Amino acid sequence: MYTRENADKFIESRKYLLNGEYRLRFHLMSEFGWMNDPNGFVYYNGEYHLFYQHYPYQPVWGPMHWGHAVSRDLIEWRHLPVALAPDREYDRDGCFSGSAIVKGDRLYLMYTGHIVTGPDKDLHYSQNQNMAVSDDGIRFQKLAGNPVIGPEQLPADVSQKDFRDPKVFERDGVYYAVLGSNDGKGSGLILMYRSDDLLHWTFVNEIARSDGHMGDNWECPDLFELEGHDVLMLSPQRMPAQGDDYQNLHSTAYMIGRLDTEQGRFLYDRYEPIDCGFDFYAPQTTVDDKGRRIVIGWMETWETEIPTQLGHYWAGAMSLPREVAMHGDVLYFKPIDEMANYRHNGFEAADILLDGERDMGVSGDCYELEVVFRADRAEEFGLKLRVHGEEETVLSYSAADGRFRFNREKAGIGPGGERRTRVGLNDGLLELRVFVDRSSVEVFIQGGAKVMTGRIYPGAESLGIKAYAIGSCSIVSFKKWDLK
C-alpha cells in the first residue's frame, strides 16, 4: 500500500539522482519522478496552492499521488509534503485528478478514486469521487464518508467507468461539481452534481456533449464565470483535427456560454482551442485575491516521447501561469504580470531592416523576448531560437496564408513537428512575446489572441537568437531579458 510518508521519504532519498540538463528555471516541476495534470489550483491563506498528478517513484505514469507546491507569485514554488496517496480501498489504484475549494477556514480537495477491477487495467476499472480536508493547507484527511459520489449515481446512458476529474465550485450558496465522461459510443460529455455541504451530492444533468467532432471522452472540465459570461474548459481525448486546430492526439478547448443551474445545461454556440501548440493539456483555473482568473496546464502531451524519462529521473512540467481575459466573444491568454519581476540584463534594439538572416547579438536558454515585426513586403519572417549549427526552433509568419508556425523539426532530441494557427496582422504588425526556459518555448501572439506551447530539447551550446525574412520587412522593436 502506498502512503504519503513513504513517498516523501523516497523523494528525499533520491533527489541526488536528478539530471539537471533540461530542468526548467521558472516553471513548476516535481522534485522527482512523474508529473501530469494540475489539480486543486486555489488561492488559500495568502498563497497559491497547486497540486498535481504525481508518481514519485519513477519518471513514468503509475498509481497516482497528489504532489503539492505553494507560491506567493506563481513563479517561485516551494514543495510541500505529498498531499494524497492511494491508500484506501476506494482509491487503491490512483488518486486521479480533481480540484480544491475553500469553505470557511478549511481547504477541501475533491478527487477521483481509481480502482482496477480486472486483468486489463486499461479496460477493467471503476471510478468514484472523494473528499479530503485540511485545516492548515498541508495535512489532508480523507473523509470517513468517502466516496461522496459513487458509480451508482451515474445516469444509465453514459459510461459506467469513465467518470472523473471533478471541478468543484460554489454559486449562489450551492456547490456544484462538473465531471468528465463519455456516452460509450464515441462522444465525450460533462456531468454535473449539486450539494449543499460538499458531503452529500445529487445528480443534476448532463450539461454538454460532443457534437460528433470533439473526441470520444472529455477530461478535466473547468467551469467558471468571467465578466458576466460562463466559460467551460475541457480536454477532449482523440479529437479529430479541424484544419490547423486540434492536431495533437488529445486537445484542449473552451466554450463561452451560459450555465443554467436549474435545468443543468450549458448553452454555447461554438468552441475554440486554448493553446495551438504541441504541449498543453488538462488546464485548470483559479481566481486570486486580485480578482484575476489564472489558468495553468500540463506542459506535456500524452503518448509521446519525453527525453527526460531516460536517465534524468523526472518527467513533466507545468506551463507558465496565464491570465484569462475576455475580448469580445473570445478569450485572450496573457503572461502574468509577475514575470516582469524576474527580468534582468535587458537588451533593446529598434527600426531594423530585415532581408535575409540576422544574428541579434544576444543569446541564452532562459529568457523573455518582446518583438514587433512590420510585415512590409516579406513573404515570410520570424525568429530562430536556440540556434547552434543545424539546431534551431523556428517561429514564423507567412503573409501568403496568414498563418503563424511553430516548427521544432531541428530543435534537438525529442519529438519534432510543426503547429500552425491563423493570425491576423494589426495594421501590418505582428507582436510576439516569447518565453524560453531550457526545454520549453511559449509564444503569445498579438497580445494573447493565440498561444503556442512546446517542449524542445536542444544541445547545451544551442543558445543563439536570430531573426530572418524572405523578402524585406522590419523589426519595429526587439527586447530581450534574461529571466532569473
Q: Given 37, 93, 245, 275, which residue is catalytic?
A: 37
Per-residue DSSP letter, 29: -
- Terminal Cα distance for the chain, rounded: 41
Distances (CA, A) of 232 to 54, 225, 439, 463, 475: 25, 9, 30, 39, 38
Q: How far apart are CA 153 and CA 320, in angstroms?
A: 37
Q: How far apart are CA 432 and CA 446, in angstroms?
A: 6
3-class SS of residue 237:
strand
Grid coordinates of 328: 469580445
3-class SS of residue 342:
helix
Give the pairing type, strands 47-55 and 217-226. Answer: unpaired
Among residues 28, 98, 29, 34, the alpha carbon closest in space to that of 63 is found at: 34
Q: How far apart are CA 101 and CA 105, in angstroms?
A: 11
Question: What contacts 24+ positions apart, CB below 8 Å, involve 186-190?
Answer: 186/212, 186/216, 187/212, 187/214, 187/216, 188/214, 188/215, 188/216, 188/217, 188/218, 188/219, 188/234, 188/236, 188/237, 189/158, 189/218, 190/218, 190/221, 190/232, 190/234, 190/266
Residue that is written with C-alpha cell 503518448 in the block: 303
Q: Are 87 and 3 in contact (CB under 8 A)?
A: yes
Beta bridge partners of 436: 367, 441
Q: Are 334 and 447 in contact (CB under 8 A)?
A: yes
Residue that is written with C-alpha cell 534551431 in the block: 392
Distances (CA, A) of 222 to 199, 208, 293: 20, 13, 12
Q: Hey, which bits of 159-245 come out as E strands?
A: 164-171, 174-182, 188-195, 201-209, 217-226, 229-237
Active site residue 37: yes
3-class SS of residue 220:
strand
Among residues 54, 16, 14, the alpha carbon closest in space to that of 34 is found at: 54
Grid coordinates of 471: 523578402
Residue that is written with C-alpha cell 531573426 in the block: 467
Q: How far apart are CA 467 and CA 374, in angstroms?
A: 13
Which residues are marked as active site?
A: 37
